[in-house]
A and B are shown apart, each in its own frame.
Chain A
Amino acid sequence: MRKQSFKTILSILFLFSFSLLQAGDDNIPNQPLPPRLVNDFSGILSAADASTLETKLANFNRQTSNQIAIVMVNDLGDDEISKYSFKLGRKWGIGQEKLRNGILLVIKPKTATSRGQAFIATGKGLEGAIPDATCHEIVNNELIPHFKQNDYYGGLNAATDVLMSLAKGEYDYNTYANKNGFDSTFLFILIPMIILFLILRRRNRFRNGYTMGSSGWFIFPFLGGGWGNDSSGGSSGGSDFGGFGGGDFGGGGAGGSW
């Protein structure tokens, strides 16, 4: 009992520290529900262009588990675009938690009074496949030339093509499945639980006919926890994006302005 209440205190403490963290994130938008990979808060992309990009990136996520997200905003708050990108990437958790294979493109479109800025942030797991210098080249060779022509879709389309070909070499769905697959300790817990579950069920059948004892249900949260974040790896067609996987950003990436 005492230990339990202690755990509650600890979790409150963690929540508190988390809320402290959040306090510095005022300028970072919350991720939309349902989650999307293409998030145009500036309203520049046409609906058709945004959904073409969304489908392309969602398919890429399904095939390789790499998550490339696009965020377009008019206001970065007080942060530099690099810091803004890392904060947003972490807050939304772009990329898979174990592979940390997220890529985030943040675009602040050019306006009459301010310069346009673009930044490509790479998740910790992709810093090797896509070094900062490469991000810098992609920004300068793919994004900015198109953006200067006011062709935001063209730039994003070209840049995501390059990023996809680079990220593909690093992780395909197999490496993801292997790395993310349940470790064997999980089986050691699961199998006895299934046996226990069956025994309990059988006993309850003898006792109460066919009603299942409530004690048998505790196994289900376990199942949910084990395979929960595989939803993005499913093979359900269409462009539905399963959600971000909890990836992490450590400062990789580069940007530019025009």
Chain B
Amino acid sequence: MRRGLIIVAIIIGAVLLFIGYLNSTYNSAVSLDEASKARWADVGAAYQRRADLIPNLVNTVKGAAANEKDILSSVTALRSGITQAKTPQDFDMIGKKINAAINLTIEAYPQIRSTENFQTFQTQLEGTENRINVAREDYNQSVNVYNTYIRGFITHAVLGIAGGNFELKKGFEAAAGTEKAPEVKFN
């Protein structure tokens, strides 16, 4: 009688422990997932910053050029592209487009190079590039932690039981593997 009670208690205890383990594994996976989503948003913010340089650049030269409208509407398109970006490749593509738009702007306003603000603009351009690089690396790192976690031998099985949608994420690839973005030309 007493023995039976002990066995039942042990079973209940084991089940509770298992549920606790499931719960904490699941929660860890969720928090790592969320962390990498936040880093992803940082990447978007960095690209946004770069795209926003274009209107700034246009503002430094007040004289309206024929294609000013085209340039600014391309910035609007870029902005929506940034918010809709789903994969690292999307951002690589957007980066190229932003640089192309910047080049277009400089070509459209040749007098831009002689303005005093142009130096500032170059510095800002470098700054946004640095921020993009840092944000991309941070994202890669968070993806690395997340992927390592959900691929763990036991974790993987446990997450399968717990349900939920935990897929491997893809990080940004090194510049060597991808086509190089058109560089911004200053001269």
CB distance from A68 to the nearest CB of B (A): 19
Residues in B neighbouring A249, C-beta threshold 8 A: 134
Instruction: Decide: A250 and B131 in contact? CB cutoff 8 A.
Output: yes
Instruction: Decide: B123 and A3 in contact? CB cutoff 8 A.
Output: no
The answer, yes or no, to whether A42 is at the interface (CB within 8 Å) is no
A7 vs B21: C-alpha distance in the bound complex, in angstroms? Answer: 10
Residues in B neighbouring A10, C-beta threshold 8 A: 28, 149
Instruction: Decide: B130 and A253 in contact? CB cutoff 8 A.
Output: yes
The answer, yes or no, to whether A102 is at the interface (CB within 8 Å) is no
Q: Enumerate 12 A-B pairs (CB-CB under 8 Å) in ascending A order.
A: A3-B24, A7-B24, A13-B145, A82-B130, A83-B130, A133-B119, A133-B120, A136-B119, A250-B135, A251-B133, A252-B130, A253-B127
Q: Which of A2, A21, A136 is within 8 Å of B123, CB to CB?
A: A136
**Which residues on B are within 8 Å of A, measured CB to CB?**
17-18, 20-21, 24-25, 28, 42, 46, 119-120, 123-124, 126-127, 130-135, 141, 144-145, 148-149, 152
CB closest chain-A residue, reference B28: A10
CB distance from B53 to the nearest CB of A (A): 11
The answer, yes or no, to whether A188 is at the interface (CB within 8 Å) is no
Q: Digit string of A191-232 for contact with B (CB within 8 Å is 1, else 0)?
A: 000000000000000000000000000000000000000000
A-B contact count (CB 8 A): 66
CB distance from B146 to the nearest CB of A (A): 10
CB distance from A89 to the nearest CB of B (A): 11
Instruction: Decide: A133 and B123 in contact? CB cutoff 8 A.
Output: yes
Q: A13-B145, A251-B133, A254-B127 are in contact. List 10 more A-B contacts (CB 8 A).
A: A2-B21, A6-B21, A10-B149, A14-B145, A132-B127, A133-B119, A136-B123, A249-B134, A252-B127, A253-B127
Q: Which 6 pairs, one residue from A and one from B, show the smallest C-beta to C-beta distance? A: A251-B131, A132-B127, A251-B130, A251-B134, A136-B123, A133-B120
A249 vs B137: C-alpha distance in the bound complex, in angstroms? Answer: 12
A21 vs B18: C-alpha distance in the bound complex, in angstroms? Answer: 33
CB distance from B165 to the nearest CB of A (A): 21
Contacts A2-B20, A3-B20, A136-B123; is A17 near B144 (CB within 8 Å)?
Answer: yes
Residues in B neighbouring A86, C-beta threshold 8 A: 130, 134
CB distance from A38 to the nearest CB of B (A): 24
Residues in B neighbouring A132, C-beta threshold 8 A: 123-124, 126-127
Q: Which of B134, B135, B149 is within 8 Å of A13, CB to CB?
A: B149
The answer, yes or no, to whether A48 is at the interface (CB within 8 Å) is no
Residues in B neighbouring A13, C-beta threshold 8 A: 145, 148-149, 152
